[in-house]
Structure 1
Amino acid sequence: MYFPMLSVFAAAATAIDIGLYNNDICNPRSTVHVMCTNADPGECCSASTDRWSSDKVWAATSFHQIPTEWNIEGRTYHERDCQGGFKTARSEGKTEICKAWAQVQGPIISGSYHFVGANGRERRRGDSRPCRRADTLVLADGAEYDLRSLDEAHFSTLFELAANAENLTTADIPAGLAAFRK
């Protein structure tokens, strides 16, 4: 009798990872990418910081760990802070969505997601939330770096490396940043 209600609460506690990829495959185990882990609906994910406006154009945006009972609309934006034109894709029972450069017909700078109601319209819980900087860098060899506590200088160093090397590995990371490896 209480089980259906428990599943609703379990789903409400789940959040989705939004990734920005250097190639259009969206495979989290084979290419350099940055992520906003546990992103909430309406929360914008961008690798850009104040210093890195729209300099980096990503090849794909992904939405990972989507519960199959959720129907979300993933949005890929052409400008930072989830502004400007965007393209959408719906999960419709899938656990992952990938939107590649060729599909969105323009630069990929940031991403967000929203729930879609049974009538196919977006369900909003208030206005969109502010954009946040990616919190995880994943290298081609699978190594992960925690970006949350990095100051602007260290973040910029890792960001520049990630933005310019599709096959970046642990060996390419400066020794001073090893402490940020997960």
Structure 2
Amino acid sequence: MKFFAIVSLVSGLFATAASAVDLHLEFAGGCSTSGGGFICRNWNPNTCCSVNSGTYFASASFRAIPANWNLQCRGHAGPNCGSIRSQQDSGGRDYICLSNGPYGGTGYGFNNKKMIRGATLDARDGEETEGCAQPDVLYLADGTQYNYTAIAEAGQATDELVSLIKTGASADDIPSDVSRYHALPKPCTDILLRVLQLFYQVTMRPFA
């Protein structure tokens, strides 16, 4: 029973990983990560990701889109998750870049309805929305990542932190009370998933 429970857990992890979409809000144009920004990892559809009403981004990107999905990738004008400034269908691509900001937020939905430029999410007939939510990771120009969810919940001064990121701050410039929220980089999580994949292959081999 324990064996099958483990196999079921591992299968669930890969099912989740296979359907994960990461949304990036980038301060630099062209969807470059060189200026720092925020990541909304494993984001749900019809949930706009936004930092706050005073923060705007030059570009937004959608990454790790499953190949069999056709998404409406949306860039929202501010404040927060306002009207749709621009959109692009994924059409089987795993990466979409929306470069014509500024954007106050970003989100996506499944491509089964015609999008209306300038419409708000609530105004689109028949499509469920879950409102606006904050990203869970922030990263610096040097690639250092922090757990933004934990930072916000701890009551840290996020406005000052955003200002630091915009100036091109490195990890050495981040206050110590924030640096302790250092996040696990995505490559490390990818390695963990690979280990689980190998475990899954080995444990399932006798049943093939």
Same structural fold, with TM-score higher than 0.5 when normalized by the shorter chain? yes
Match of 1:153 in 2: 156
* Alignment partners' CA distance in 1, 2:18 and 2:133: 20
* Alignment partners' CA distance in 2, 1:61 and 1:11: 23
Secondary structure of 2:66's aligned partner: coil
Contact 1:43 1:131 in 2 (8 A): yes
Q: CA deviation at 1:86?
A: 2.4
Q: CA deviation at 1:135?
A: 1.1
Q: CA deviation at 1:108?
A: 1.0
Amino acid at match of 2:30: I
Q: Runs (4+) of structure 1 moved beyond 4 Å?
A: none
Match of 2:15 in 1: 10
Pair 1:36–1:180, CA change in 2 (3 A): same
Secondary structure of 2:160's aligned partner: helix
Which structure features the higher share of helix residues? Answer: 2
Match of 1:111 in 2: 106
TM-score w.r.t. length of structure 2 = 0.68
Q: CA deviation at 1:92?
A: 1.0
Match of 1:3 in 2: none
Match of 1:133 in 2: 134
Q: CA deviation at 1:174?
A: 1.3
Pair 1:152–1:159, CA change in 2 (3 A): farther
Q: Which has the higher contact order (CA 8 A, sep 6+)?
A: 1
Contact 1:154 1:177 in 2 (8 A): no
Secondary structure of 2:76's aligned partner: strand
Q: CA deviation at 1:11?
A: 7.2
Q: Structure 1: state its 5+ residue gaps.
A: 1-5
Contact 1:45 1:133 in 2 (8 A): yes
Q: Deviations over 1:32-91 (max 9, x none)?
A: 01111111000110011xxxx2x2221001111111111101100112342224210111
* Partner of residue 27 from structure 1, selected from 20, 32, 38: 32
Pair 1:44–1:35, CA change in 2 (3 A): same
User: Please, what is the CA RMSD of the aligned residues?
Assistant: 2.7
TM-score w.r.t. length of structure 1 = 0.77
Q: Are 2:101 and 1:98 equivalent residues in the alignment?
A: no
> Kindly, what percent of the aligned residue pairs are identical?
28
* Alignment partners' CA distance in 2, 1:33 and 1:133: 13
Aligned length: 161
Amino acid at match of 1:80: P
Q: Structure 2: state its 5+ residue gaps.
A: 1-10, 116-124, 184-208
Amino acid at match of 1:131: C
Which structure features the higher share of strand residues? Answer: 1
Contact 1:77 1:110 in 2 (8 A): yes
Contact 2:74 2:84 in 1 (8 A): no
Amino acid at match of 2:173: D
Pair 1:13–1:95, CA change in 2 (3 A): closer
Secondary structure of 1:18's aligned partner: strand
Secondary structure of 2:164's aligned partner: helix
